[in-house]
Structures are given as C-alpha cells and as structure tokens.
Structure 1
Amino acid sequence: MKITISFLLLLLPLFASSLDNHDRQVYIVYLGEHKGNREFHEIENNHRSYLESVNESDEEVESSLVYSYKHSINGFAALLNPQQASKISEMEEVVSVIRSEARKYVTHTTRSWEFSGLKETFSRKNLVKDDILLKSKYGKGIIVGVFDSGVWPESKSFSDGDMGPIPKSWKGICQTGHTFNSSHCNRKIIGARYYIKGYEQFYGKLNTTLDSMSPRDMDGHGTHTASTIAGRTVKGVSALGGFAKGTASGGAPLAHLAIYKVCWAIPNAGKEGGNTCFEEDMLAGIDQAIADGVHIMSLSIGTTKPIPYMKDGIALGALHAMKNNIVVSCSAGNNGPTASTLSNVAPWIITVGASSVDRAFIATVKLGNGMIFEGETVTPYKLKKGMYPVVYAAQVVESLVPKSAIDGQCLPGSLSPEKTKGKIVLCLRGNGTRVGKGQEVKRAGGLGFILGNNPQNGADVAADAHVLPAIAVNSDNAIKILAYINSTINPTAYITIAKTLLNRKPAPSMASFTSRGPNTITPDILKPDITAPGINILAAWSGADAPTKLATDTRIVEYNILSGTSMSCPHISATAALLKAIHPTWSSAAIRSALITSSGLNNNEGNLLTDASGITPADPFQFGAGHFRPTKAADPGLVYDASYEDYLLFLCSSGVNNIDPSTFKCPKQSPSPMNLNYPSIAISKVNRTVTVKRTVTNVGGRKSIYFASVKPPVGFSVKVSPAMLKFSRVGEKKSFTVTIRVREDGSLSMEKGEYGFGWLTWRDEIHIVTSPIALSLA
C-alpha cells in the first residue's frame, strides 16, 4: 500500500504538468519598445527569460516559444496556460498579455477607380497636368504590404512588364514553399512570405488539400485585394463570361507588392468555410514587413467586435508601423447596420467603410401576373424561354427541419427534392451564405432562385455568381413577390440574364453591411474615417478556387466580383500609395488627414450620401468624413499632423502608461483623447461647454489665408477661434480652438446617448478642408 501511494505521489507532478500542457494555448506577450541596441539573439534570449520563469526545463521553454518579435515590435508569442500567462502579465516591463484569437475575414477594377475620379485623363491632344496618376507616376517606387490569404502570381494583373526596378530600400525575400518558388516573384510582386505557426498551434498541421504551405493564394481573397491596390492595366477583362467588361487596373498600377500570407483555410469546413487569421501570425508579418521596408500596409481583416488597443494585435503592430512612418489601412468590418460594431478603431489606423459605385448588373424577374421587378446578379446561367412554377422556400421544406429553414432561409439540406424539382424558389437572406442558398435550391432540383433581402438589408443588393439562374431583389420587391406567390394557386415566374449598366443613380450610397460607429473603445475618436467602393468590385482571382467558393462549383475564373469592406480597404491603400509617391516626406498621419478632409459628401445626383435605401441620409458613423476623392487628396491644402509621441500621450489618457518607459513617461495629467490632433471631432458627453484644440500644417500654396465656417449639430453652438488662419510658407503650423456649447433655447431634442452631426470647414481660394463633428449629451 505504501509503495502504491509513493508511486502516485511521484506521478502527481507529471499529472499536473500534463494538465497544464493540455490547458495551454497561444498568448502574445507585448513588451512595448526595444531597450537600446541589441542583437537579435539578445532580444530572443530576453524573451526566453520570461518563459524560463514559468517553465521547469529548457525543453519546455523551446516547445512553448512560437514567435519572437524582434525587428520593431518587442514581444513574443508562446504556448502558456492561464496561470503562466497571469504570472507573466505581472512581471516588470510587460505591457499586455493577449490571448490569441482567430479573426475571420470581414468580407468581412473596371469601374470603381473611374467612378472615384481616378483615371487616365489624357490623350494626344489634351494632357491634364495635375492628374494624380501622372504626378505619382502611377505609384512607381512605392511598396505596399498586403496581409491576406496570399497571391495567385500567374494572374495578368501581376505582370511586371515595363515595371521599374525593385527599390534599393527593399530588404525582403521571396519565400518558397509548396507550389511557390522564386520565379513567382518579379518586379511587381517583389516579395512574399507566409506565417502559419499560430494557425497550426490551434488547428494542427495544415491540410494541404485545402491550402498551400506557401504564399500562394488558394482562396482568392488575397489576390482580389492585392490587384485592387496595384494590379497592372489589363484590357478586355470581364467576370463570368462578360460582366463588368472593360480595362481592369489597380489604383496604383506601378506600385510594388509585398505579400504576407497570414490567413489560412479553416479545417473541416470545406472551401466555402472561409479563412481565418491569427493575431500572432499577423503580428509576426507586420514586424517583418517593417524591417523589409514597406511604405503602406493593407489589412482587409477585422474582428466581429471592438477590442481595446493593448489587446488588439493589429492595433499594436500598426502603432509600430506608424512609428516607422508606414501608412496602415484597415477595413471597418461587415457587421452593419448595427451600431458600435467597428473593428480597427485605433486613431493611427485609417478605418474604411464600404459604399457603392454607379455600376449595376441588372436582371429582371417577371411574374405570372405581368409584374416585373429589377434585381442584380452576375450569374451566367440562363433559363429557357417560358414561365416556370415559383414557390416560397417555406412551402417546399423537408419535414422535421429547423424553424430557420421553415422561415424561408434555404439552409443546406432543408429543401425537399420532391417539392422543389423544376421550380424557381424564393429564398430569404439571413442565416447561411447567399451562394449557399442557391446551391441548396440546385441540390433539391430547382431550376432557378430569387434571393430576397430582409428589411435589414433593404435596397442593398449583392450581385453573386450563383450556380444556377438567379436574381437578388431588394426587400420591398421580395415582399411583393411573396405576396404574389401566396395570392394564386399556380404562381409562375421567369428570370432574365443580367446586363451591365453604368451611370446608375444615386451613387455612392452606403452598404447596409458596413460596420458603424460610435467607437466604443474611445468614443472621442470618430470612426470610421472614410468610405470607399466595396460593393460588387471586380478584381483578379485565384485559379484554385471557384467564384462562389462552393466545393460543388467547378468553375475557374481569372477575375471575380466581391463585396465587403475587404474590397473598400484596398482602394484607400492604393490612394495612400499614390500620395506617398507624390509626397514622400509626409507622415502617415498627414496622408490619413489628406484622405479624410478631402472626401466628398454628395452622390452623383448632387444630394447628400444616403444609406443602402438610396433615400435615407447617411451619417459620419457610416461614412466617416465621406467618400474618398483621390484627386482632391493629392492637394489637401492643410493637414492635421500627429507624431508617435502624440499617440503615446493619447494612450496615456486611455490608461496605458508603460509602452516605452525607458524613453517616455506619461505626464501626471494626460491630455484628453478629444485633443488628439485628429482630422475629425467627436465628443461623447458634452456638458454645457467643451473646448478642443487642433493644429493644421500648410501643405498648399506658400502664401494663403483660410477662413473657417461651421455647420453645427442641431442644438449646439460651435465657435472657432481664430476664425482666420494666415500662412506665409509651406510647412507652417497654426493652432485654433473649437468651443462647443449646448444651446439653451430649447432647440436640442436628443436623448442621452444620441448623436448629432455637423461640419467644420477651412477654405482658401483653392482648397476646401472639411472635418466631421459628432456630439452627444453628457
């Protein structure tokens, strides 16, 4: 008996260790700034010392270390159990400890750039000398780092014919791997790397039937975003046999691309399961990209909810990028129209919402009663002439299916082949993917399907490459079609094939899916910053994935049409590349300011931007400062600049006070976040009177005089002092205050928590510099 007890006692530490190891997961330990000049091995040894304090052997230290961030970012990713993570978080010099979480894509061209005013406006007879493309030499010499699912290098969009030499400042590599070698890099794609350690710690070894252990894009998302940014000019491009036909080009077609694959296929989910991106992998890629020498970073990646700055890997990486004067552009997210759903809200990031262009892919559905409704699709399949039986999905479901399927959702396995065969089926948006609903109709023997918006989606109709004849209609038309189906014994319908139509009005309008403010992490920073085209954007595609990403879809396309803030983000990344080429000495904050203050508030009918309905006015919590205007951003007149120290002071005011304790200490009283020199003004709780300070830098004419004008939110008065700014040289700075008061005349009718919006504008003889104002009551 004693031997047995002794033996058990000997096993207890091993048993406990086994439990600890089983409970381990990846944590990111962020240490802020590097202290002094140290070799890489010294930095890594310092990181190991933290692990040695919570592990019993060198073997455990080695097995736990996932990444050592040692270029610009100081920190490491390691396998830890909660107790170890807690112990490390209490150690000196540790700024934060972040438990790793996977981030799903926020998804979150031939028309979008032209619609935005960026096009070759010259001919043999007429040369427009102030064109932004000519000034920037099409982005020549600028390197854009794209963090995504990789790249399909064989696409014509990534040809390097007539490209300039690789910049001498470039220090990156072309990392080889499965199906990807050094020949796949050229003067367009000058570098490629991949980061997968965090993914494999969570999921295990990569299933190479789903993804390639290399920078190659087997998904399509990364190829789409990269070509939107810097794809070469390719004539005669179309999607799916003729849609959006024209000349495709990225916004900065002579810029160079550096690919950082940080997103990977989700196991056991099939191709349509999408990709996932782990923070430790993204942070490793960002750290390396800073050392490689990129000028712009583009991340069409986000979370489903806002995250505090020191718990957000993208925010931490972007802070170090900004310190190195790298512009970081991120998507706002696709969780609208619900309020306060933004991701990537750090003020050193450009946060981009999604809006429409003036192109549509119009098809019609004709009902048996003679009524005809317009909708959109990029489905190349065509019904034979004639009328077909049409049913509502809830009428043809299998027995014993979930209530969501009975509600017309067309979820996988929900439709009865016996009841569906030979019919057109009306399915409603909601749960499940749009293309997945069409696949379910096809599986059950349906000949076509109508995808009806729910009221939340309103008039925001997405054009998809469905696997059978199909049309998507807005919520009003969906209601009318359903009413017809329910009104007759033998309802019938016919779906036409779509045509590409331009100059549609009103445009742009905001996407219903685009995530909205207010910013819940720091309400006194207005987010998003700006909106750009994100609906039905055509760009290059992977040769390894179908346009729908459905496993049953065997089509291969060179170009595809997608929607999401993932598509709007690269428009801003490309414009930032052009601005960097024109103004190489500008800070990342100055470039962000130029984009924000030059954006537009009107659609192509001359009216204010609307939401997806095309009727209801939108607001800055949807579009930020407005719709981007690249040609205006090149010459903004004034910019609101900010330094790395300004952002550290901002973090001090947010309760973060030890990012760089060796060189920077928070003052006893930190400035309010609302006084960060940001190109917009947001005050979440106005109590009678609030005054904020801003400083502008003259980047326009040598001598200029600007006058302020204000459109205050209803119920508030706004005074600018001084109301005139006189500049005598480029680079000169002038400060002013904005005093906001709650009016006492009874004109303020908002409740606490509601916001009112207004505008502050500076004008000289040439420039209009506009900032949005968002105010709520205390």
Structure 2
Amino acid sequence: MDWYMSSLSSATSGPTDNLLYMYENAYQGFAASLEPEQAEALRKQSYVLGMYEDVPLKLHTTHTPSFLKSQKASTTLGFQRSQHDGSANVRWDLISIPSAVIKSSSEHNSSRRGILMLSCNRFTRYYYVHVEGNTTGVLSPRDHQGHGTHTASTAAGSPVPGAAFLGKVMGTARSMAPHARVAIYKVCWDSNCWNSDILAGMDQAIKDGVDIMSLSLGGSDMFYFDNSVTVGAFTAMEKGIFVSALAGNEGPESGTVKNGAPWIMTVSASSIDRDLPANIFPWQWTTITGLSKYAQAGLDKPVGLVYNKGIHGSNMCLNGTLDPAAVKGKVVLCDRGGNERVEKGLVVRNAGGIGMILANTQTSDRDLASDPHFLRAVMVGVTTGNTMRQYVMSDPNPIVRVTFTPYRLNVRPAPVVAKFSSRGPYNPSVQILKLDVIAPGVDIVSAWTNDAPPTKSPFDKRRVQFNIESGTSMSCPHVSGLAALLRAAHPEWSTSAIKRPITDGKDSSVADPWTLGSGHVDPQEALSPGLVYNLTRDDYMAFICGLNYTIEQVQLVVRDPSVNCSRKFSNLGELNYPSFSVIMNENRTVIDYAREVTNVGAPGSTYQVAIATPRSVAVNVQPMTLAFGPVGDKKRYTVTFAANSTNGTDIDKTYGFITWYNREHRVRTPMVFTYMLS
C-alpha cells in the first residue's frame, strides 16, 4: 500500500486520498480518481504497464429447474436434504456479481427465499466519485433494485413452496443448486457497473476462495487487456474458480456477444415451455393470443378499441399525447417504441383507459415482453398488431374483450433462442466459437427485493416476493448453478473440464452455433459426459500471446512480468477448445486443427466418430476411432478442413458437427466456417 501511495503521490504531485482500490488477487495495480494531466503524468512512469479509463458495464435484463430437470440431476448426485437432520450432504461456495443480500423483515426475509448467505460485500468507491457524492441511494450490500436478488436466487437457494408473482405462475420456486452457499459482491449502482468496482469485487471473491463466479453484467469488449471481467476471470481460472457470464442483450445482430474470453463460460438466453398468455376477442373474430403478466380480472364484456387518438405520438402512447375524451373507458392500441412499455400503460390509465394492447411494429420487431402493467394489458407481435390496426381503422365501431390466464405449460417449440440474445462471433478472437451455450432467460421467476417494485417504476407502489424477468442476466445463473453441481460431483475436474459437459447441449438443428453455441444446457447429460477437453494456464497463455499484443499488454492480462511469449499459437484456433471456428480465405483453403480429449467415463471406453458438414467444406477426422485405457487417459485427434468451393459465399456462415459416440455417450463438437477476404 505504501508503494502505491508513494508512486501515486510522486507522479501526480497531489494528495493520495484519490486512491480508490489496491488489487492483490484479480489484478496487480490500483484504481485512482485522477485529473487528465495527473493521469498523463502517471502514464509516463517507467513502472506503469498500462492505464485505462474506467467505463461502465450494464446489467442485461429485459419453472426453469423443472424444465431443465435439474432437480433430478441434484437427486442423482445425492444432494437431497436429509429428512432427519435438515442438513445437506454436500455444500460448496458460489458467488454472484453483481448482486445483493435480500433485505430482511419479519414477513419478507432471506430464509423465505431459501438462500444460504455466506457473506455480503459492497464496492462503491468509483461509483461514489463518479456521482461526486450526490446519491440518493443507500450504499449498502442490500438490494434496492432486484436484479441481484433475482440472479442469486436463480443460481442457489432452497425450494420455496407457494411462490407466485401477483397470483400468476404459482408453484414451488427452485434454484439450480439448492444447497449452495452464496457470497454476495455488490458492484452495480443505478444500473451501472464500473470496471474498478467490478475488479474490486472479483479481487475479494478470489481472496475469499469461492468456487464459482456468476457475472450477470457486460459492456463493450475491444481488447482482452483493458477488460476488467476478462482480466479478473483469468486469475479466477488460475485459482480453479469457474466463471460464467452473460452473452449480452444486443441480438439478433451478429458480432454482439460479450464476455467472450475462452476461460469464461459465455451464456445466452432461451425460452422455456411455459408462457403467460392473454386472449383478445375482437368483435366476430377468432381468438388472438398475446402475452401478459396481468393477473386480475379481464373484460367480460366488449368495450371500445381506439388507436392514435390524440396529438402526434399518440400511436405510441407517449406521455401527454392521448385525448382523454376519446380514450376514457376504452382499450387503447399502442405501438411499441418511443418510451418504456410499462410507461405506456401508465399513460393509458392516466388518460382514463381501462386496457391496452401493445403491438410490435416493423421497426420494433423484438421479443414479446410480458410486463407487470398497471392495467389490463396484452403484448402482441407485428403481424397481429397490423391486423388490429387494420381493424380499428376500417371498422366504425371497433370493440374488443380481453381475458387473462395464469400460465400455460408444454408450449412448443421450446427452447427457442431469445431474439434479444447477443450473437457471435466474438470480435476480439473470432477463431474461438462464442457464445458457448444457451440457458433459460425468458420470463424467469425468481426472488425479488422488498425495496423495489416489480416494474422498477417510481409510480409503482406494489411489492412482491418473486418477480418475472428476462435477459441473459437471467440465463447466466442457471449455468452457474449447474457448474456448482458439477464441481460438487467432480471436485477434481478443471474449470475447462466442467465447461465441456455444460456445452454438450441438446440438439441445435434449429439454429446455427453463432446463435446458440453448442446447444441448450442439459443437466442430466452434463453429469456423465464421457469425454472432456482440458486446458491449462499455459495453453491460455499461448492463446493470449497469439493475439499479437505487446508483451506489456500480455502481462496485464496474466499478471506475470516474466512472460515472454516463447510459446504462442500461430492460429488462435489451435486452442484445445470444445468447438471449431474455422476462418478461410482465397489463400487459406486447407486448415488442420488438433484436439485432445480426456476419458472421464468407464475404463476401456471406445468411441467412433460421425461427421455432419456443409457441402462447401470437406472434413476429415483422424483417427476415426478413439480407444481409451483407464479413467483420465488422453487421446488426440486431428481434423482437416478443406474448401470444396472457390466461392466464399458458399462457405461463409456454414456449420456442422463432429460427434464422438458409443452406447453410453454422445460427445458433439460444433464447427463453424467463416470466409474472410485476405
């Protein structure tokens, strides 16, 4: 500490009270609040490897254990609570960043939510500097927003019977890892998560010796060496800590995935087989189905339906645009966009409307969102919205009736990739297939803080014990909890070995691997994967050196001043990753990659290979049979990819699978092909 303070004081000729954090575990360095000229003076010092401006990352939000059958997986591992002494047979530590401890009260406490709290911490120093001390929030580990409570209790917590959201989806709430202990590190404030605060939280978590890190936050990723999550996660990996993080909510555009370093499990979002339907009955029409979280009585009798009644912007139900005389006592059709969805319902209610149909448009064609509106409200898609608009504008007296259903199960198809989920490739390293896997992230029921309303609107005075949220923030803790189950079952496995069974997802024929990685998580399959792909710190070091950074920048990532990159990959795809991302061009039409797999199944196992490949690329695997000896035996195989076409468009964005199989196991490895002009 003295050295940091002395260095800071001598370089900046200023006080040392602007020193915010000193990092010991996740990073080697410190965070300070400096004026531009002070930062420049410090940058010129010979002992400074790098200096980076702090930027905020974002939270990504917009029945699942039963859907995933994780309860069955937990039972298989012997983690059911004893009927006699109430104790768990196995416990392990899982941490959640960002998150917060649930505020306790006599009727609303953490035991009601079923979370076994190990510790709670807050990291606020840069946030406090950023707002110049002007904050109305309470700088406490307690959750005043809900995001942390929701994500933490998705990953871990005991079952809670009678859980419901405003009377909907009533049942038993279950987490992925029911007997895990949770450590909380709150690093996000006012929906912003500053890099220096995040790194401080990760630094403390590594010091505390946690087993799993769950990171439901993300921002813009440019370089590995200036990303706090990437750097902190590398050190966590060195310590044997499994790190999972969200992929982001910027889909469906390609190249939007976040947190794509290969030592991070990158998780995107999918739907489940339950939705929250509402029925719309236009006069003399067949029933139209939409989505809604509204849980009270519908409209038994038809009422008038209006659209675009007011000044400019009334079609979107912007604040102050609706004509109360035209709206009072009627259902209002509102276009999505221009303001928050929940705010539209408030605008309709304040103008005297008694219901709302919120419709996607061609310019706002995103996932349907079932919000907890202030009035009867239904969300519909573009096609239904266009039909409703046509009806209102063509009928002189349009009328409608609306009813609501608590929930609907066995919805098909499911799972479906959420439209908001970010897609690959991961631009800083396109030779590694990212994202890794998809997990439930649409309309997820989980615990909620008593300090925040379900809509997060200041006008909402309702309080709930459970809320329904969507986003890759919600999918990430599903995988974190599953990783905790695997860590408890196989404590000898490396973090990379744990990753392979999780990525051995369900069939992905409905979408490409840039959209869903290796597939949808399957806890039952993950328990007995047969083969795993192992990676060491040295493997990751060779990968980082292959990024063609300066030695100083490499040292920033790996926290090792002795690194000289004597070993580096000439092609980043050489990393022993459980997938292939093959980059071709007119001068590079044949590519060889090798992989090594480790037997974690029965001794003496033998596997055959099956190949599914696009016509434009020939794929040859050698050998075609892998015969293993004892558990832990390793075998290598080589894959040759050869272009069958001289037309790059025939190759670009195609994909296939290599599957090693026997009677007990099916180990599928996705391969994707990209054609880039040299």
Q: Which residue of 2 aligns with 1:759?
A: 657
Contact 1:139–1:581 (CA<8 Å) still a contact in 2? no
Deviation at residue 135 of structure 1 after TM alignment: 12
- Give, in whole Å, the separation in 1 of the partners of 2:36 and 2:597: 47
Deviating 4+ runs (over 6 angstroms): 135-139
For 1:145, which of 95, 102, 105 is the aligned residue? 95
Alignment map for 1:426-441 (pairs within 5 Å)? 426-441=333-348
Q: Does 1:113 align with 2:65?
A: yes
Which residue number corresponds to residue 692 of structure 1? 593
Is the partner of 2:245 in helix, strand or coil? strand
Say if 2:541 and 2:568, in contact at 8 Å, map to a contact too.
no
Q: Any idea what SS the aligned residue of 1:467 has?
A: coil
Are 1:477 and 2:384 counterparts? Answer: yes
How is 1:669-684 mapped onto 2 (pairs within 5 angstroms)?
670-684=569-583
Decide whether the 8 Å contact of 2:300 with 2:403 is kept in 1: no
Cα separation, partners in 2 of 1:82 and 1:702, compared to 1, 3 Å: farther
Q: Could you give the per-residue CA deviations for residues 357-391 of structure 1, whole angstroms, max 9, x where no partner exists?
A: 00111110111242320011111233442112212
**Counterpart Cα distance in 2 of 1:157 and 1:759:** 48
1:80 partner letter: L
Could you list the per-position Cα deviations for residues 545-565 of structure 1 after superposition, in whole angstroms to 9, with x for gaps in the alignment? 111111111111111111111
Corresponding residue for 1:54? 11
**Tell me, what secondary structure is at the counterpart of 2:197?**
helix
Question: 2:621 is matched by which residue type in structure 1?
Answer: V
Name the structure 1 match of 2:304.
Answer: 389
Q: CA deviation at 1:692?
A: 1.2
**Do the aligned residues in 2 keep the contact of 1:139 with 1:252 (CA within 8 Å)?**
no
Shift in Å at residue 491 of structure 1?
A: 1.1
Q: Residues 556 and 381 from structure 1, CA distance in 2 versus in 1: closer, same or farther, beyond 3 angstroms? A: same
Secondary structure (helix, strand or coil) at the match of 1:435 reads helix
Contact 2:26 2:199 in 1 (8 A): no
Give the AA of the match of 2:18.
S
Q: 2:274 aligns with which of 337, 345, 359?
A: 359
Partner of 2:132: 204
Q: SS state of the match for residue 496, structure 1?
A: strand
The corresponding residue for 2:291 is: 376
2:539 maps to 1:646: yes
Alignment correspondent of 1:293 = 209
**Kept after mapping to 1: 8 A contact 2:252/2:419:** yes
- TM-aligned CA distance change 1:689 to 1:50, over 3 Å: farther
Contact 1:157 1:249 (8 Å CA) reproduced: no
After superposition, residues 317-356 of structure 1 pair within 5 angstroms as 317-356=232-271
Q: Distance in 1 between matches of 2:79 and 2:99?
A: 28
**Contact 1:698–1:731, Cα closer than 8 Å, also in 2:** yes
Cα deviation 1:666-692 (Å, max 9, x = unaligned): 027544211111111112335210111
Matches within 5 A, 1:127-138: 130=76
Instruction: Indicate conservation of the 8 Å contact 1:546/1:557, yes or no.
Output: yes
Q: In the TM superposition, what whole-angstrom CA distance separates every residue of 1:177-226 from its partner, at most 9, and x where no partner exists? A: xxxxxxxxxx8101000001111111122534xx3221110111111111
How far the C-alpha of 1:457 sits from its partner, in A, is 6.6
Comparing 140-149 and 429-438, the one that deviates more: 429-438
Report the secondary structure of 1:97's partner residue.
coil
Distance 1:193 1:777 in 2: 47
Query: Paired residue for 1:601, among 496, 507, 521?
Result: 507
Shift of 1:749: 6.7
Report deviation, 1:342.
1.1
Deviations 1:489-518 (A, max 9, x none): 121112112231111111111111111111
Q: Which digits, 9 at most, give the CA deviation of each residue in 1:636-666, with x for residues without a partner? A: 1111111122112111111233314544320
Q: Secondary structure at the match of 1:277?
A: strand
Residues in 1 aligned to 2:81 and 2:526: alpha-carbon distance in whole angstroms: 12
**Equivalent pair of 1:158/1:232 in contact (CA under 8 Å):** no
Aligned equivalent of 1:772:
670
Rounded Cα–Cα distance in structure 2 between residues aligned with 1:666 and 1:416:
69
Which runs of 5 or more structure 1 residues have no equivalent in the other structure?
1-43, 123-127, 164-186, 266-274, 603-607, 610-617
- Which of 718, 729, 748 is matched with 2:630 structurally? 729
Once residues 45 and 411 of structure 1 are traced to their aligned partners in structure 2, the CA distance between those partners, rounded to angstroms, is: 56
Q: Note the aligned Cα RMSD (angstroms).
A: 2.4
Confirm or deny that 1:236 pairs with 2:165: no
Give yes or no for contact 1:355–1:510 (8 Å, CA) kept in 2.
yes
SS in structure 1 opposite 2:412? coil
Deviation at 1:442, TM superposition (A): 1.6
Determine if contact 1:299/1:329 at 8 Å carries over to the other structure: yes
CA gap of 1:138–1:380, structure 2 versus 1, over 3 A, is same
Contact 1:131 1:631 in 2 (8 A): no
- Is 2:618 aligned against 1:717? yes
Q: Secondary structure at the match of 1:307?
A: coil
Any conservation in 1 of the 2:73–2:524 contact (CA below 8 Å)?
Answer: no
1:564 aligns with 2:490: no
Distance 1:488 1:230 in 2: 53
* 1:584-595 equivalence runs, <5 A: 584-595=491-502
- Taking the aligned partners of 1:416 and 1:53, their CA distance within structure 2 comes to 65
Change in 2 beyond 3 A, CA 1:586/1:644: same
Partners of 2:327 and 2:45 lie apart in 1 by 64
Letter in 2 for 1:347: P
Amino acid at match of 1:635: S
CA displacement 1:695-747 (0-9 Å, x = unmatched) = 11111112111112211133001111122111101112212211100004x7x
Report if the CA contact (8 A) 1:453-1:459 is conserved.
yes
Q: Does 1:258 align with 2:162?
A: no
- Assess if the C-alpha contact under 8 Å between 1:119 and 1:133 holds in 2: no
Matching residue of 1:183: none
Alpha-carbon distance in structure 1 between the residues aligned to 2:88 and 2:383: 43
CA–CA distance in 2 between the matches of 1:87 and 1:737? Answer: 51
* Among candidates 99, 103, 122, match of residue 194 of structure 1: 122
Cα distance between partner residues in 1 of 2:478 and 2:560: 37
Structure 1 residue 411: deviation in Å?
A: 3.1
- Counterpart mapping for 1:737-752 below 5 A: 737-744=638-645, 750=649
Q: SS of 1:99's equivalent?
A: coil
1:626: which partner in 2?
A: 519
Structure 2: tracts of 5 or more residues without a match: none
Q: CA deviation at 1:160?
A: 9.1
Question: How many Å apart are 1:90 and its aligned residue?
Answer: 5.1
The 1:480/1:120 distance shift into structure 2, 3 A limit, reads: same
For residues 135 and 621 of structure 1, what CA distance do their matches in structure 2 show?
Answer: 39
Q: TM-score, normalised by structure 1?
A: 0.81
Which has the higher mean CA deviation after the structures are superposed, 687-696 or 564-573? 687-696
Tell me if structure 1 keeps the 8 A contact 2:78–2:89: no
Deviation string for 1:102-154 (max 9, x for gaps)? 1221116xx111111222489xxxxx7x4575699979321111112413143
Aligned to 2:226: 311
